[in-house]
Amino acid sequence: MTVSVSNLLVEANIGLYAHEKGWLQRLNLAVTVKILPPRRDQIDQTIDYNAVVAIANDVAATHTNLIETFAVKVAQRCLELDRLVEAEVAVEKPAALRTGVAATRVVSRS
């Protein structure tokens, strides 16, 4: 079973180059997690979407050079949540290119 949070916008402390450091850049995330099937109709049987948002914002607060590393950090943190067996994180960095969007996707398993 999968649960997704998409179009998650975060202001991240991210960038490798000197001109990227010292200001926040917008990232657009899509996080899809595989969870164990719920045994009953209760929130503790799934993932709280707000936990995913909190993880993304927490990772965004600490400087990361690459969107690839950012995606791995978010995926690994998601796997620390109960009931998750896999986390897929896609990250888009719209300001990286003048005529396109830089993006990456990572899949991590517990």
pLDDT single digits (tens) 48-95: 999 999 999 999 999 999 999 999 999 999 999 989 999 999 999 998
pTM: 0.94
Domain membership of residue 32 as a residue range: 2-109
Q: How many structural domains is the chain composed of? A: 1
- Say which residues have a Cβ less than 8 Å from residue 91's Cβ, sequence separation at least 6: 27, 28, 29, 67, 70, 71, 74, 103, 104, 105
3-state secondary structure of 58: helix
Better-scored residue on pLDDT, 97 or 71: 71
Between strands 2-12 and 102-109, the pairing is: unpaired
Residue closest to 61 by CA, chosen among 25, 107, 91: 25
- 52: domain CATH number? 3.30.1130.10
Q: Is the pLDDT of residue 110 over 90?
A: no
HSE-CB at 81 with a 13 A cutoff on CA atoms is 24
C-alpha 79/C-alpha 47 separation (Å) is 11
CB 75 within 8 A of CB 32: no
